[in-house]
Amino acid sequence: MTDYIKNKTERPMFRPKCFRVLDEVLGKSDATVEWIEVAVRHLKREYEKDGSSRINSLAGDYNVRVNPVEFDKICVRWGQLQVLSSYQYLDEFLSCFRKEHPRKESRKREDREDLLTFVMDAYNVSKNDVGLIEFEILDYYRLVRNQLMHNPSGEQGKVHKSQAERILNNKKDNYSTLSAPNHIDAIQFDDFILLTRVIKHFSRVLCSRTTPTEPEWASLILKNSELVKKLRTFIGNDARIKLKLKSYLLTNYCCEIGDEVLTNIFNLCLLAQWQSAPLQEPT
């Protein structure tokens, strides 16, 4: 993992709640999955050494009722579950990102359009911004997820298989130590590592490329009725209002706003007119 740490994508200035939740969930998931991977490999080795009797004995020791399973495929099945759950984390992040970002989406989502492609286009984030190989990796595992959910026993298509081979032939140094991506019937632990690594990279790029503009910050503030109510109590004390705004943006979005930008946001919110005019959103 050394090469990844050296080239790790920087944390963005704009970190909405969905980003922080994803970061925390993936951090906890990584640590848990690593240890369960050890347990699965150990279980498989015990089966290969002593057969079903040893495995059933272990289940009895822990008072767990078990059903028969193909132990030669248990590592693949475990890897597939990790791909499913990891991509679900990405989908949840994208859904929440749309709700939390103050920017209006540039267009509506088309029927059957995948969420990843839509969010990137609607917020003007290109494949080049994300990285061509990173986008390809996310798209590959999106299709893996879809097949595992809707047609798990079906044959993986030739085009989908060739996508995996294309990625393998063009991977960056960051991912060169990983034996992934693999075909659906050969998914393994390295697929989980590759997918979560790219999800982390993607979430950072998305937030970095969509840092709200000053008018967007002002619009977000004015839509927060509770915040506006609190700020109204400090009318006439501009310094106190700016301090509250700075604290709000830091607490909720991890944004350290400079004094000049903060003043611009303050002015865009028309705070000086609050006593004599209704609130308006900046245009």
Which residues, 6 or more positions from 69, have their beta carbon under 8 angstroms from its beta carbon?
Answer: 77
CB 177 within 8 A of CB 3: yes
End-to-end CA distance of the chain: give it in Å, rounded: 47
Q: How far is CA 182 from CA 23, 108, 245, in A?
A: 25, 34, 48
Q: What is the pLDDT of residue 282?
A: 52
Q: What is the pLDDT of residue 2?
A: 34
Tokens in use for 201? 């990279």
Can you tell me which residue has the tokens 């028309």? 270
CB 110 within 8 A of CB 26: no
Three-state DSSP class for residue 1: coil
Residue 283's identity, in one-letter code, is T
How far apart CA 214 and CA 153 sit, in angstroms, is 51
How far apart CA 271 and CA 264 sit, in angstroms, is 11
In the predicted model, residues of the chain with pLDDT beneath 50 are 1-6, 272, 275-279
Domain locations along the chain:
2-209, 214-273
Chain centroid to Cα 179, Å, comes to 22
Can you tell me which residue has the tokens 């990285």? 131
Q: What is the pTM of this model?
A: 0.86
Q: What is the pLDDT of residue 254?
A: 87
Q: What is the pLDDT of residue 99?
A: 93
User: What pLDDT digit, counting tens, does each position of 105-114 carry?
Assistant: 999 999 989 9
